[in-house]
Amino acid sequence: MKKKQQHGGGECPAPWPPAAAAAAGGGPGQGGGLLRRRPLSLLPFLSLRDYVFCMATLLLFCLGSLFYQLNGGPPHFLLALRHCLGNSTYLDDHGPPPQKVLPFPSQVVYNRVGKCGSRTVVLLLRILSEKHGFNLVTSDIHNKTRLTKNEQMELIKNISTAEQPYLFTRHVHFLNFSRFGGDQPVYINIIRDPVNRFLSNYFFRRFGDWRGEQNHMIRTPNMRQEERYLDINVCILENYPECSNPRLFYIIPYFCGQHPRCREPGEWALERAKLNVNENFLLVGILEELEDVLLLLERFLPHYFKDVLSIYKNPEHRKLGNLTVTVKKTVPSPEAIQILYQRMRYEYEFYYYVKEQFHLLKRKFGLKSHIRKPSPRPEFFIPSPLETEEPINDEEEDDEKWLEDIYKR
């Protein structure tokens, strides 16, 4: 009964008086032993020696913890309290916290080629940057693709100091970051059939796209009427500057770079562009197979392009994307197209090289092309040496304003 009273309740029993201890069994040899072991009654399996050892260990631990805190090591509860209360002095005392783990690569440049689906991709990137939290860096300059040495240095500096992970996009010819002491980013780009790109640009400069058509907007308002309604066949057959070299030598410089020879149609620029594609570009896609391009970008750069294909196929996005289609396009005569093929010989060599590399990459990842059989490559005449003149710098239009209008709707 005494044991039930002693252990049955939830509270600790009161200590026995000496008299009660003697009555419970108590001679000097037995009761006295119970009184001496009373401090260890909660841990009956420990001897006095073990108890002293545990207390000494605990004391050393407390002293060590106190010494650590006095030498600048704050306990976790103080750090949590400072975080909640704000105005923490922890950074001042102990330096910056460890940097967040960045995706690889954390520096991506999309030096987009004009009239190769770039407005569609930039619209997707704006959605993806909000969804995934990467830094989308754009530029207010849209029609300056060739830069001086100082302009290259300044642009590379501005790009390199952007918060990572970033994706920088602008119409600009390839920049060699390592030449100016910077970390070379990963490049991506998209190209299309050169004649189709030229025709799209020709009519876009004159008549814009469906969005401008709906809002009765005039594209390039300063253009003279006779130039705006210049027949495409006349432009090509009569060798107008807009329809001849070097204005037609357009895609290759985006991959060749900023060297003056990159603007001269020829083997040197072509081979240098191929070399840069192999060494500096993670992916160069083909606009005619855009869905496969987006799928590969999602696989290669998931931190940037995850779910891009589902967003692209969304009916709402498709509705916006259809507004970027150039209006009032007409097809030149077969004779004019054959002349364009001859003038764009190097552009087509580069296009078919990139297309072949893209298809090899698709097969490597098990993607099959569901497009019609391509037409045979055109036969080119060996052109006479081409004179290099300074192209007019009006081919790139300010398409960022279009995107801003989309977001204001």
Structure tokens at 201: 């640009």
Nearest to 185 by CA among 208, 164, 210, 211: 164
User: Can you spell out the DSSP letters for 259-278?
Assistant: SGGGGS-SHHHHHHHHHHHH
- Burial class of residue 342 (count of CB atoms within 10 Å of its CB; 0-12, 13-18, 19+): middle
pLDDT, position 69: 62
Structure tokens at 183: 């970390």
Nearest to 208 by CA among 338, 312, 323, 78: 323
171: annotated active-site residue: yes
CB 257 within 8 A of CB 163: no
First to last CA, the chain: 85
Kindly name the residue from 7, 76, 83, 171 that is annotated as catalytic: 171
Q: Reduce the DSSP state of residue 110 to 3 states and report it.
A: strand
pTM of the model: 0.68
Q: How far is Cα 264 from Cα 266, in angstroms, rounded to an integer?
A: 6
Q: Reduce the DSSP state of residue 349 to 3 states and report it.
A: helix
Residues paired with residue 109 on neighbouring β-strands, in sequence order: 168, 187
Nearest to 242 by CA among 394, 398, 380, 118: 394
pLDDT, position 158: 94
E strand or H helix at 7, and its extent? helix 2-7
Q: How far is Cα 261 from Cα 193, in angstroms, rounded to an integer?
A: 23
Q: How far is Cα 156 from Cα 164, in angstroms, rounded to an integer?
A: 14
C-alpha radius of gyration, the chain, whole number: 37
Low-confidence ranges of the chain (pLDDT < 70): 1-46, 66-100, 209-220, 320-324, 327, 369-409
Q: How far is Cα 23 from Cα 32, in angstroms, rounded to an integer?
A: 12
Q: Which CATH number is associated with domain 107-408?
A: 3.40.50.300
Domain spans of the chain?
107-408
186 DSSP assignment: E
Q: Reduce the DSSP state of residue 312 to 3 states and report it.
A: helix
Structure tokens at 137: 């860096």
316-356 residue pLDDT tens:
877 766 656 776 788 999 999 999 999 999 999 999 999 99
Structure tokens at 338: 């054959």
Structure tokens at 209: 């796209």
Q: How far is Cα 310 from Cα 33, in angstroms, rounded to an integer?
A: 80
Strands 107-110 and 135-137: unpaired
Residues paired with residue 326 on neighbouring β-strands, in sequence order: 209
Alpha helices, DSSP H, located in 194-307 = 194-207, 210-214, 225-228, 232-237, 253-256, 267-280, 290-300, 302-305
Q: How far is Cα 268 from Cα 116, in angstroms, rounded to an integer?
A: 24
